[in-house]
Every structure is written in C-alpha cells, then in structure tokens.
Amino acid sequence: MSIRDLVETCLSNIRNPDGEGARAFTTVYDDAAREHADFLDKTNAVAGAELPLAGMTISIKDLFDIAGEPTLAGSRVLKEAAPAAEDAEIVQRLRKAGAIIIGKTNMTEFAFSGLGLNPHYGTPASPWQRDKRRIPGGSSSGAGISVADNMAAAAIGTDTGGSIRIPAAICGLVGFKPTASTVPQNGMLPLSRSFDSIGPIARDVDTSATIYSVLAGQRPMPLDTIDPSTITLAVVTNSVLEQLDGPVATAYETALSRLSAAGIRLIDVAPPVPNGHAGHSIHGGIIVAEAYAWHEKLFTKSSHSYDPRVASRIAHGRRVSPADYRNLQDERSHLVRQWEIETQMADAVIMPTIPIVPPIIAEANEDANYNRLDRLVLRNPTIGNLVDGCSITLPCHDTSDAPAGLMLIARGGRDRELLAIAKMLEGILPHATA
C-alpha cells in the first residue's frame, strides 16, 4: 500500500458513521494528511535514520498546540481562545520525523479524570463489548480508541496519573509514560507540571520505543535483547491488589505464572508508598493546587461552562495554601527517595494497571459511582507519576477475555531499559487486543 492508501484507510475509519470517530476526534486534518502522504509517496520516503516515522499516521491529544487554532483541551471555554502561534515542540519533532498528524483526539475536559467521559464532545466506547458502551479510559480517551479502531497507527497522550496507561490497558494496547523530564512540554496545556508526562499509545513496544525516541529528541535505536533469567521484577502485594475484578485477577495471576516459567525472578514487595499517595493524587494535593493556579482567571470567569465534575476538582485547589504546597512537595521528594531505596533490588516493579474491567459509560456517569470508579482506575498508575518514574502497560489477557493490563514501573531515567524489558515480556504474554 502507498502512504496515501494508508491515510485514506485511517480517514475512512474515522468517518465511518457506525464507528467511534466522531467521538474519538475533535479535529481531523483530512487535506493536510493527504498532502503529506502524497509528498512522502512522491519522494519514495521510507522509515530510516532521517525519517524514523515516515508515513506513520499519528493522532495527538487535544492538549497540544497546532499553529493557527486554539487548543481546546476537551473544553468549551477555550473555543474563543487565541490560536496557537506555532506547533507544540513534540508536534514539530513528529512532523520532522515523517509522521502524518491525522487529527486531534477527544479527552476528559482538561485531563482531569481517568474514566474518559466528556459531556461536551461525547464519549467514545471501549472496543471490548462495544454494544454495551463501556468507558474508553482517560483522560486520553480518543487517543486509545484511535489506535484500537485503526484510525491512527499510534497516538500521543499525556499522563498525569495514568492517562496514557489507563486507556491503553482498556483498549488492549501498549501505553508508555516516560520519565517526565525527558520529553519537552512546550506548547502543551498543563494539568500539573509536577506530574505531567507525554508519551505514546501503540500496538507494540518497538513502535512505542521509536516514537518515544523522537519525542525525546533521541536517535532511534533497536532495543537491547534481554535474557529473561537476568531480570528481577518486584511484585507489589499491598493496596494495588485490592478490589480486583475476577477477570483482571485471573489474567494477572496467569501473567505472573508465565513470567516465572520463562525464568524471570519474581520477588514480593510491599513498599508503603502505594498506601500513602492519595494526598498527592488527581483528587487532591499537588495536582489540584497546580491545576487551580493555571485555571484561576479562566475559572473565575467561566466555571459555569466547565464539566461540573472537573470544576469541582479544580475548586479544591483553592484550599491548598502555599505552605501546604511546599510541604506536599517535600513529602513527595521523600517518597521518591524511599521508593528508589525500597525497589533497588529489582529492575522494575509490576502490578495490575487498573483493578477493574471497564464499566458501562452510563453507570460510570452516575453520581453514586463516578468518584469511586475514578479513584479505582487512577490508584495504581498514579504511583508511577508520584515517584517520578517511567512506566508502561502491556496487554496480558487472552483475545476472548476482558481487557487487562500488566504495568511495570522503573526508576526515573531508566526509560530505555524499561522498554527493553517490556519488549522481552511482550514475547511471553498473550498477544491480544480488547
């Protein structure tokens, strides 16, 4: 197939009236994508050192600037905002590497939930049991669906407490949250500068690694081949295993058995960090304080136009005093050091990405369920952000089963090592999509 043919396939899937494209995308760059594809075909571009992403269709979360248009962040209140003067830095890097930006994807308003619901632009449904319309995971909801439904080869999301890994796990995909400092955030609308990270959602680890290298300004290189017998993984056994749905528990235990049988050394650990991170999470602490600081002027004028649940969370940031904020940052620094000491005997720690199968959208949208479910899906992934590490989720379920993700977290700065371990695990775990 020509690159133009691949682009047309993606665009056809997006425009399919029976599909999720209208809810997964907020903007589609039909003409620009076709023009870029024709140029690449005309020049016989192939993926290589100069253009590592040549012809790859990539969707970007609607948190990133595209020159000439406002960045909406899943909101209505920014529709009249000034257009961006230039593309976000990561968008510039993607284009330079030969990627074709197919469109901007829908998201939880201002990235402030892990469920993926959006009352303004609609909520795309998970590919698993689509007729029942289950949540896509968030906040990068459209990003995961765009890859799962072959509307893009890969997607770029952001991850403040799991917003790449949650939709990836629900959609049966690979989601990588890099060490935050390795990918520039210029031209990205923030949620929490202390926790935000930018990374890819893709179908396999190799693709994720190549895209990550481009985002980080590194030369893409093949991942190291790893002997399973040289790897030690720490199995976290405390609060991260609470309230597991049956299918998730079964898939997780089966995955651990496969890893052990392959020769990987598994050791049980129970670090206190997972049990004490709630004060820093997306429901409080540092994140809400930093969110309110960014939103304060806009929120004062237009809070009535926000998703009420997002508005409620942002409003909590008023309660965090400067002294509270400094104390929370000091406590977080202590937790990072504590985590690194307690996990230094292992190459990475592992746990279920999220403890539940994706609930039905209508049920998740009920006031009685919303906060409880949101806390559950964010609980485990947020640990990777809190400890300033790198983290990845891999599908670990069989094709006919409910989606389940196996999450790895490594210490900050060990992104390439974690990706190499993940690629090795990819050959051991089931190859399944949701």
DSSP label at 283? T
* CB burial string 10-37: b at 16+ within 10 A, e below: bbebbeeeebbbbbbbbbbbeeebbebb
Q: What pLDDT does residue 383 have?
A: 95
Q: What pLDDT does residue 279 have?
A: 60
Give the confidence band of 433 by pLDDT, cuts at 50, 70, 90.
very low
Query: Both ends of the chain: CA-CA distance in Å?
Result: 26
pLDDT by residue (tens digit) across 118-174?
999 999 999 999 999 999 999 999 999 999 999 999 999 999 999 999 999 999 999
User: What interhelical angle do 322-342 and 285-302 show, nearest 10?
Assistant: 140
Query: 277 pLDDT exceeds 70?
Result: no
Reference 416, options 244, 267, 226, 278; nearest CA is 226
Query: Phi then psi for 56, rounded to 5 degrees?
Result: -80, 125
Query: Phi then psi for 420, rounded to 5 degrees?
Result: -65, -40
Q: What pLDDT does residue 434 have?
A: 43
pTM of structure: 0.97
Domain with residues 1-434, CATH architecture: Alpha-Beta Complex (3.90)
Task: Round the average pLDDT of the chain to a whole number and report it.
Answer: 95
Q: What pLDDT does residue 283 have?
A: 62
Distances, alpha carbon 414 to alpha carbons 163, 199, 294, 390, in Å: 20, 15, 30, 7
Please compute the mean of the pLDDT values over residues 330-339 and round it to a whole number: 91
C-alpha span between 234 and 329 (Å, rounded)? 26
Is 64 within 8 Å of 99 (Cβ atoms)? no
Active site residues: 61, 139, 163
Give the confidence band of 272 by pLDDT, cuts at 50, 70, 90.
confident
Please compute the mean of the pLDDT values over residues 84-88 and round it to a whole number: 98
So where are the chain's domains? Answer: 1-434
Q: What pLDDT does residue 431 have?
A: 67
Please compute the mean of the pLDDT values over residues 359-363 and round it to a whole number: 98
Q: What pLDDT does residue 278 have?
A: 57
Query: 51 pLDDT exceeds 90?
Result: yes
Please compute the mean of the pLDDT values over residues 399-403 and round it to a whole number: 91
Please compute the mean of the pLDDT values over residues 59-86 and round it to a whole number: 97
